Structure 1
Amino acid sequence: MERLRPLNDFVFKKLFGEKEVVDNLTALLNAILDRKGIERLLGVEIVDNKELTRDIIDEKASILDVRAKTKNGTEINIEVQLLNQSNMEKRTLYYWGKLFNKTIAKGDKYNDLSKVITINILNFEYIKLEEFHTCFHIWEDKNKNYKLNDLLEIHFIEIPKFNKMKHKNLSEDSLQRWLTFFNKDISEENLKELIKMDKNIKAAEKRLEYLSSDEYTMELYEARERTRLDRANLIDTGIERGKDEGRKQGIKEGIKEGIKEKAIEVAKELLKEGLDVDFVVKISKLSLNKVNEIKKELKL
């Protein structure tokens, strides 16, 4: 039986975003947030648990994140991103802001605003630092130890950086154990060692095996994988087509024109998929004004 990709966002939500697996989520959050002893999270509540229908799975722009709330009211959002859209810092601030605004109702006091933690698990390198796990707050520029408040907390976990580490400490580091578990192609021997070390990973792997045996779950998983590959191929092949078309024209201006025509086609497709303007500008190499003009023409 094929082992499912734990970082497929549909599977990730089934592993950590449903009420019957709240213990899995709690264990993962304690590992990411480094909560130990009396500081460990207990009684995490899973929220916004929408039904995963075929329409949602097929929708390329849909976000299958995992949301939770702690006993003290802290909101936590976990998102898995397998494809680098070159906009993660803006994207995460945007969704952090939306969630932060929802922590108080109209008429409530600002003091009622709750802390929001955003966790991004990335299958690509993004942050220009060596560490595979980075965490951001609001600090004063000159007095680096002065934090304005603790309401904003944003984590980036970059799987490729972790995989490159020569010396890992799985026996003592629970986050490293989870990141190893997320490797779809982990060897059977290493998986058995992980399960011996960590009862929470044992439970998660058991859940993963159950999902692998469910026909409808497999159908949705494969549909989500196709959606991911379609988006990746759209980005990878669109620009290459433009370059090829330009080469065929054989002259410098022809190359420019061929690339531009194809770039416009690619921009249209990316905008239709719901990708943001900044990302479309970076991929298509068109100007911001041109992309906005195309977006207006498409009435998006």
Structure 2
Amino acid sequence: MRYLDPKNDLTFKKVFGEHPHLLLSFLNALLPLEEDQRIESLEYIPAELVPQLPVLKQSIVDVRCTDNRGRQFIVEMQMLWTDSFKNRVLFNASKAYVKQLDRGHKYKGLKPVYALSLVNENFETGTDTYYHHYSIVHTQFPERQIEGLQFVFIELPKFRAQNITEKRLQVLWLRFLTEIEDGTEQLPGDLLDVPEVREAIEYLQESAFTKEELETYDKYWDSVSRERTLIEDAYEKGEQQGEQRGEERGEQKKAVAIARSMKAKGFEIATIAELTGLNSAYIEQL
């Protein structure tokens, strides 16, 4: 039996976008919720209401839903990291929060919005921590919090590198995302011990997908590869331009130093300009 990677756009939506009971288990395991805040039921928000920004193809909101308390949850799988990703997540969550007023709510009736972002790259340097929880808190008294928006970013490569084998549901769901890859045939036995994780794995069986779906699956990986190449090329070009500008500034400083020295020794302005390449008017002001 061969399995597909759950991080692909097609498979992620098939598991968590079509089976609310699996998404409920997933969110309750991964979000920082107290016992009395556990999600009891979910309802998907229609796809046409899900915000999508044409910035990066791999930066789309995969699943958006609301629970029986009216809280909203934005869940996305991010294959590529960019510096603007956090800002985009903040924008989408804020938009979902504010949009509640369009339905006639008063300010006091606004419900919290939670954004859960699973990132398949490392982006927080200098720490091995893979779980990052952001909320609006008092800087002096962190226990005092403004309800409304909360954000969780999970760096999947860091989680995998730590080789955590606990049986907590949070760990098992993250292992589901990191240990099953394209073409996997042998599954970790302990993942199959948990009914909801075992069910999610069954939806990843390659034989359960049509030929057209498998083509869509492959096209997604191709698009990720192309986009990664574009981002890497852009960074490389930026670094090269930065180095070039640095060299030019260095040459400019050197020319100015020579011009000052020559001017102090009484050389003609025209001669200094010819030898240094600096403008005559600029040299006169030195």
TM-score above 0.5 = yes
Secondary structure of the structure 1 residue equivalent to 2:65 = strand
Would you say how many aligned residue pairs link Structure 1 and Structure 2? 239
Work out whether 1:83 is the aligned partner of 2:80: yes
Once the 2 structures are TM-superposed, how far is the Cα of residue 127 of structure 1 from its aligned partner? 3.2
Deviant stretches of 4+, over 4 Å: 34-39, 186-190, 238-247
What's the counterpart of residue 214 of structure 1? 210
What's the counterpart of residue 94 of structure 2? 97
What's the counterpart of residue 8 of structure 2? 8
Which one scores higher on RCO, CA 8 angstroms, separation ≥ 6?
Answer: 2
Once the 2 structures are TM-superposed, how far is the Cα of residue 245 of structure 1 from its aligned partner? 11
What's the counterpart of residue 171 of structure 2? 176
For structure 1, which segment, 129-138 or 96-105, has the greater mean C-alpha deviation from structure 2 after superposition?
129-138
Superposition CA RMSD, Å: 3.2
Once the 2 structures are TM-superposed, how far is the Cα of residue 12 of structure 1 from its aligned partner? 0.8
Work out whether 1:194 is the aligned partner of 2:183: no
In the TM superposition, what are the counterparts of 1:12-31 in structure 2 within 5 Å?
Answer: 12-18=12-18, 21-31=19-29
In 1: Cα distance, 2:114 partner to 2:240 partner = 45
Indicate the structure (1 or 2) with the bigger Cα radius of gyration: 2
What's the counterpart of residue 47 of structure 1? 45
Unaligned runs of 5+ in 1: 51-58, 254-300
Distance change >3 Å, CA 246–CA 136, structure 1 → 2: closer
Distance change >3 Å, CA 22–CA 227, structure 1 → 2: same
Once the 2 structures are TM-superposed, how far is the Cα of residue 7 of structure 1 from its aligned partner? 0.9
Once the 2 structures are TM-superposed, how far is the Cα of residue 246 of structure 1 from its aligned partner? 12
Distance change >3 Å, CA 223–CA 167, structure 1 → 2: closer
Once the 2 structures are TM-superposed, how far is the Cα of residue 236 of structure 1 from its aligned partner? 2.0
In 1: Cα distance, 2:9 partner to 2:223 partner = 11
One-letter identity of the residue aligned with 2:72: E
Unaligned runs of 5+ in 2: 49-55, 249-286
Distance change >3 Å, CA 47–CA 246, structure 1 → 2: closer
One-letter identity of the residue aligned with 1:49: A
Indicate if the aligned counterparts of 1:211 and 1:217 stay in contact, CA closer than 8 A.
no
What's the counterpart of residue 134 of structure 1? 132
Distance change >3 Å, CA 195–CA 105, structure 1 → 2: same
Q: Percent identity?
A: 26
